[in-house]
Chain A
Amino acid sequence: MSGAERPPLTPRFRGHYGALARGPPNTEYRACMAFVLSEENERELTEILARYPNKMAACIPALHLCQNANGNWLSPDAIQFVAARLELSPAHVKGVVTFYSLFNEHPPGKHQVWVCRTLSCALRGSDEILAHCQKRLGVGVGQTTADGRFTLRTAECLAACGTAPVMQVDKTYYEQLTPEKVDRILAGLAKD
């Protein structure tokens, strides 16, 4: 079907997911989307797609790629982009996004701080670490600091029980924490 046969997509008709939610995914509509990947990321997406026997399997890696390219969150446009590229319904992709806890549907702060609070860490003082983070950053769990620099979160078991208590900041683990160590880590990140 050529583009001319369809009614043009006007902003009036585009709901949360646009008209795509009502019809089969169609790559012709890519032009309508606000979300695009850089050339380098496009190359990586092609590489990801080559790893799997079908396109659906690339769903989670593709969402990670888009999330990283989009300031650590997945906008409705990004979800629609992944759906169109992988020939899935946006509802499927949205279902995947809401199932997994590491996909953000709202923009987080520049640095995301996860403090593990499951039993092994709790036995070695994660409550104190979490309380210290809250006090130092001045926010509660799940909140972002006013300057948009940090989002504080709790994590369930980060698989580093032998070096508890543990927190993860962005992609790095910090282990055997003490309140002083947390101060040094957060102070270092507040500068960059």
Chain B
Amino acid sequence: MLKRTDYLTKNYGKPDGFGLSAYEASGGYRAVRRVLTMPKEAVIEEAKKAHVRGRGGAGFDCGTKWSFMPKPGSKPHYLVINADEGEPGTFKDRTLMEQNPHSVLEGCMIGCYAIGAHACYIYVRDELHLAKQRLWDAIRQVRAKGYLGELPFGNNYPLEIYVHTGAGAYICGEETSLLNSLEGRRGEPRLKPPFPAQAGAFGCPTTVNNVETVAIMPTVFTLGGDAFSKLSELHAWNDGGVRLFGVSGHVKRPGIYECAVGLTLRELIYDLGGGIEGNRELLGVIPGGSSCPVHLPNEVVHVPNNPKFEMFNGRSILDLPLGVDPFRTVGSMLGTCCAIVLSDAADPVIAMQNLMRFYKHESCGQCTPCREGCGWLERIFDKVVEGKGTIAELDQVHEIASNITGNTICAFGDGAAQPALAFVRKYRDNFEDYILNGGRSQTGRLTV
């Protein structure tokens, strides 16, 4: 159901809407004042009631993640914010940092207090110079006001927030690789366990949260956890509140829209996105960043023997609410909720070639299946587009992709293999046309 909200986006696009005065005028920094006087356990309980599912892609419950942190001991605790946004199709965190940086900072303060951390690092990718500058400016403003430092808001709970910058590596969006990068190493993912809550940044207990996950926290504590969760249509699925939905590609109005959870892809594409560019037909949609499998408009939801799913069975995938669990149950992934829309002008074979080039370029090279497999897949798709591919090679895509999945340290391998499998399975005819007829009946381009 389409229900637009403006908790995070009310100051978007206004001149100085990113400043401290605009943020405080709309109720900013009140939630954190209250939080800093509450017991830690109560803060985590309230966050759990809100059912904020991680906005970075994995969809893990934020309050539960905070509760995994050990009791304060000899080692300091750290909060690390993942702002290494680089998933193709995803552009929500950048808007938050550039247009609402104070909500990120307030969220960081709440997060730090809940997990017992006194220092927070916001890991921003290097390309986002404006975002880094706005965050640093915001930090300086609130430090001057005494919201950060030794006695934030007069409470004896020292807090510091720093912006750390990456240097151009998609893999650093993976949490353990981000921690390696923060420590000044090459950004290669670490084996788990130990999980970051046991040994994260600098070997100390660490929580890694997405920017949007913490930025929504002030709203959670303003409304109260339960009331926040009930804004969502998927409250019963433990998927609460509001989130930022993005839509890009072949739609008339691409952009970021804040809505209650429970929005469907059809509403995102046709109501918010304004429909397909040039009033063309929908060819496919990738629901949440390029690592999610592509969906065709004629796909129908069918999950037998699941009483919770009875109400959705028989519906088009475009009418399935965008929630972490519904999409997981149908064998897809919600990811970051930023959809890429392909109209029938786009050639799915060229789109796949484009994506695989991305994964080949960004594989960190640590695990052999991913390093070699992504290269092999890229070569196969290049050959197919050049008209030199064979049907046997197309079948090999399944074999290679299945051998990457589950055989690597981090989820990057799965993220590269899933779209390849989905594209080749769902657009098999288009791929075969390239092999058998040189792609004569295909569009051969991506633009409308």
Contacts and interface: CB of A to CB of B under 8 A. Distances in A.
Interface of A: 51, 53-54, 56-61, 63-64, 86, 88, 92, 95-96, 99-103, 114, 117-120, 122-125, 127-128, 155-164, 168, 171-173
A101 B168 contact: yes
Given A59-B184, A101-B169, A161-B254, 12 more contacts: A57-B202, A59-B185, A92-B185, A120-B89, A120-B340, A122-B351, A123-B342, A155-B127, A156-B88, A159-B94, A159-B128, A171-B129
B125 interface: yes
Contacts of A86: 184
A161 B89 contact: yes
Interface in B144-185: 162, 164-170, 181-185
Contacts of B344: none
Interface stretch (B28-36, B232-240, B242-250, B308-316): B242-250
B229 interface: no
A100 B202 contact: no
A58 B184 contact: yes
B185 A56 contact: yes
18 contacts: A54-B202, A57-B183, A60-B166, A60-B184, A61-B165, A100-B169, A102-B126, A103-B167, A119-B351, A120-B340, A123-B351, A124-B249, A156-B86, A157-B87, A159-B93, A159-B127, A161-B254, A173-B130
B221 to A, nearest CB: 28
Interface stretch (B55-63, B327-335, B354-362, B430-438): B354-362
Interface string B100-126: 000000000000000000000000011
Contacts of A102: 126-127, 167-168
A57 B90 contact: no
B187 interface: yes
B211 to A, nearest CB: 11
B91 interface: yes
A114 B128 CA distance: 13
B168 A125 contact: no
B290 A119 contact: yes
Contacts of A172: 129
A120 B88 contact: yes
B52 interface: no
Given A56-B183, A60-B165, A124-B447, A118 B88 contact: yes
B187 A120 contact: no
A96 B182 CA distance: 12
A96 B168 contact: no
Contacts of A168: 127
A163 B130 CA distance: 16
Given A59-B184, A120-B88, A161 B246 contact: yes
A123 B94 contact: no
B139 to A, nearest CB: 11
A38 B168 CA distance: 26
B205 to A, nearest CB: 13
Contacts of A56: 183-185
B163 to A, nearest CB: 9
Contacts of B183: 54, 56-57
B90 A64 contact: no
B375 interface: no
B255 interface: yes
Nearest to A123: B249
A179 to B, nearest CB: 13
Contacts of B93: 159
Given A118-B88, A120-B340, A61 B164 contact: yes
Contacts of A95: 186
Given A119-B351, A127-B446, A161 B186 contact: no
B256 interface: yes
B212 interface: no
B167 A123 contact: no
B346 interface: yes
A103 B126 CA distance: 11
B85 interface: yes
Contacts of B90: 159, 161
The 3 closest A-B pairs by CB, nearest first: A59-B184, A100-B167, A102-B168
A112 to B, nearest CB: 11
B89 to A, nearest CB: 5
Contact of B186 (A99, A118, A162, A171): A99
A30 to B, nearest CB: 20
Tell which of B182, B361, B362, B447 has the most Cβ of chain A within 10 Å: B447
A96 B166 CA distance: 11
B162 A51 contact: yes
A53 B246 contact: no
Contacts of A159: 85-86, 90-91, 93-94, 125, 127-128
